Amino acid sequence: MLDFEKELEKFKPSLEVDQAEEAIYHNDLSDVTDIVKDLVEEIKNK
Amino acid sequence: MICPYCGSRLSKRDRCDRCGEDVSKFKKLYMAANKYYNNGLMKAKIRDLSGAIVDLKNALKIDKKHTDARNLLGLIYLEMGETVSALSEFVISKHFQPENPVADYYMNFVQETPTKLDSLNQIVKRYNGALAYAKQGSDDLAIIQLKKVISMNPHYVQALLLLALLYIHAEDYDRARKVISKVLKVDVTNTSALEYLDYIKLTTGVDTKTASAPSSSGSAIAKTSVKENDVITPISAYSEERPNVIAWVNLVIGIIVGAAFILVALVPGIKKNAVSEQRTEIVALGEKIQKLEAEVTEKDNEYASLKQDYDETKYKLDNPEVPEEDQQVQEEPSQYESLMQAASYFLMDKKDKAADRLIEVDTEKIELPEAVTLYNKLASELFAEQADKVYEEGHKLYSDGKYEEALEVFEKVLKMNPEQLSAIYFTGRAYHRLEKYDMAVEYYNKLINEYPDSGRAGEAKERMAELKADGKID
């Protein structure tokens, strides 16, 4: 049985243009390459 | 593949040719990211957009600078009606790779006219409004808004899904089915759409069975085949055989009532929102202008200060009535001339020529304090940046086998920045290639003794070992 209320909760408002700047700034841009780079640096410094 | 340390293009070797760092582990990561990208591209080509998004996000989690993956993700968002998410991806893609014609093309596509971006934003606003209505329980208003949204952008997946859900809630399964088929044309594996379709099948499957029971005098096999058949067959049969005039009249009345409501209740609100948005935009633009003005003033001051230094020193050089300082100038005219030429080139924004002149200046022979200040100021502005640029030229000459010419360039680099380790290393390598082993050893030893923790020192040790093994040195 489809729970209408529950399904409706899954829908989130789409981003509007004036929220774009915020979305870009808050985008988590750390990647696995960064993590590996940090680890290599840490090992080198030991 | 790009070196994570210095950003230069990587060759087949496990070490970066430019900075000498070990990049073998990163190459494996880049290959994994590429694999995800290829899967994402393959899925996007068969319109499995949901699957493609997952793969492309995984590729970007491994390598955020994977421009192709980011551009494709942006394109998919654009196709699914998520304009702002698409723009965000293109902006980030441009940030990591400024020379990016693909991102440029799509950004221009979205922003080709000021009204286009605004109308795309209006679609998103309408969808958000419809969602708010749906959450308040005003399903009819939400449906009206969503129909408008879909007429403006028929590929807006979220809007189509919400409309389908509202039709299912109103038990209008026929319409819901049509809307879902539109979603599946855009994104063939959309989980929500498939879930809704299953639900409709489950609900209407019972009705179809009972409705078809009296008319079907055929075998049990025929019955079974109808029950198990795809959803496409019942759709056409259901909709085409029952034209309902009253429903159409009700729809027209509903639209008229809805339009009247929008004119009375919503239009003033929308206008008010538009005005407040424009105000916020004006304030933001005002702030940007102030920031730019401050930057211009700062540059003007810097220019005025340098100009003043230049004028003062030039005056002292030209003025024969300053006895003591003039004497010094006459003793070493070339130093001051070079300094003046460097300052002059710097003011003309010809930084490479300014740096060339400045390295000719011997600071020990300058005694005028203003000239020393001017030298220091120019050196701090020019040498660090120019040393790296000139090093690139030297490295290119070295790679082309022009070792004598490369040596001249590396010498210039080391005059600008004596701690440019790559220039020290490749000076040694150039001497090595020219079979001037004593000189090569001198530069290798410089790295090993003065910068023992650097990657270049490790490489210098390897080269020294090679020389010893070949019997070139003791």
Q: Which of B48-57, B199-208, B211-220, B356-365 has the highest mean pLDDT?
A: B48-57
pLDDT class of A45 with cuts at 50, 70, 90 = confident
Q: Could you tell me if B396 and B408 are in contact, meaning their C-beta atoms sit under 8 angstroms apart? A: no
Shortest CA gap A13–chain B (Å): 5
Q: Measure Cα distances from B424 to B23, B150, B410, B431 in Å.
A: 21, 64, 8, 11
pLDDT at B407 over 90: yes
CA atoms of B210 and B347, how far apart (whole Å): 89
Domains in chain B: boundaries = 24-112, 118-211+224-239, 323-469
Three-state DSSP string of chain B: CECCCCCCECCCCCECCCCCCECHHHHHHHHHHHHHHHHHHHHHHCCCHHHHHHHHHHHHHHCCCCHHHHHHHHHHHHHCCCHHHHHHHHHHHHHHCCCCHHHHHHHHHHHCCHHHHHHHHHHHHHHHHHHHHHHHCCHHHHHHHHHHHHHHCCCCHHHHHHHHHHHHHCCCHHHHHHHHHHHHHHCCCCHHHHHHHHHHHHHHHHHHHHHHHHHCCCCHHHHHHHHHCCCHHHHHHHHHCCCCHHHHHHHHHHHHHHHHHHHHHHHHHHHHHHHHHHHHHHHHHHHHHHHHHHHHHHHHHHHHHHHHHHHHHHHHHHCCCCHHHHHHHHHCHHHHHHHHHHHHHHHCCCHHHHHHHHCCCCHHHCCCHHHHHHHHHHHHHHHHHHHHHHHHHHHHHHHCCCHHHHHHHHHHHHHHCCCCHHHHHHHHHHHHHCCCHHHHHHHHHHHHHHCCCCHHHHHHHHHHHHHHHCCCCC
Chain B hits for A8, Cβ within 8 Å: 134-135, 165
- Specify whether the CB–CB gap between B226 and B212 falls below 8 A: yes
Pairwise CB contact (< 8 Å): B165 & A7: yes
- What is B323-469's CATH superfamily? Tetratricopeptide repeat domain (1.25.40.10)
Overall size of chain B counted in residues: 474
Q: Which of A16, A24, A29 is nearest residue B124 as measured by Cβ atoms?
A: A16
Torsion over CA: B28, B7, B41, B13 (sign): negative
Q: What pLDDT score was predicted for residue B214?
A: 39
Q: Is the pLDDT of residue A20 over 70?
A: yes
The count of domains in chain A is: 1
The pLDDT, as a whole number, for residue B404 is 92
Residue B349 burial by Cβ neighbours in a 10 Å radius (0-12, 13-18, 19+): exposed
**How far is A15 from chain B, CA to nearest CA, in Å?**
6
What CATH number matches the domain at B24-112, 3.30.40.230, 3.40.50.980, 1.25.40.10, 3.40.50.2020? 1.25.40.10
Instruction: Flag whether pLDDT at B360 surpasses 60.
Output: yes
The answer to whether B89 touches B65, Cβ cutoff 8 Å, is no
Please give the C-alpha separations between residue B153 and each of B21, B119, B159, in angstroms, as whole numbers: 50, 10, 9
**Rounded distance between C-alpha atoms, residue B202 and residue B223, angstroms:** 16
Let me know if residue A4 belongs to a domain.
no
Q: Do domains B24-112 and B323-469 have the same CATH topology?
A: yes
CA distance B169 to chain A (A): 7
Name the residue range of residue A32's domain: 13-45
**Nearest chain B Cα to A19, which residue?**
B84
The verdict on residue A41 lying in a domain is yes
| ipTM for the whole complex | 0.85
Q: pLDDT band for position B181 (50/70/90)? A: very high
List, as ranges, residues 6-25 from A with C-beta within 8 Å of B. 7-8, 10-11, 13-20, 23-24
Contacts of B30 in chain A (CB under 8 A): 33
- Is residue A7 in some structural domain? no
**Is A6 contained in some domain?**
no
pLDDT band at residue B242 under the 50/70/90 scheme: low
Probe site for chain A from B15, B121, B273, B280 (most A CB atoms < 10 A):
B121
- What's the pLDDT at B66? 92
Lowest-pLDDT range, B5-19, B183-197, B215-229, B344-358? B215-229
Three-state DSSP at A27 gives: coil
Give whole-number Cα distances, B240 to A29, A41, B216, B236, in Å. Answer: 52, 69, 19, 6
**Smallest Cα distance from A36 to chain B, Å:** 8
CA–CA separation, B164 and B180 (whole Å): 6
- pLDDT (tens digit, 9 = 90+) per residue, B18-64? 888 888 888 888 999 999 999 999 999 999 999 999 999 999 999 99
| Mean pLDDT value across chain B | 83
pLDDT score at B219: 37
Q: Which fold has domain B118-211+224-239?
A: 1.25.40
Q: Is the pLDDT of residue B209 over 80?
A: no
Report yes or no on A17 lying in a domain: yes
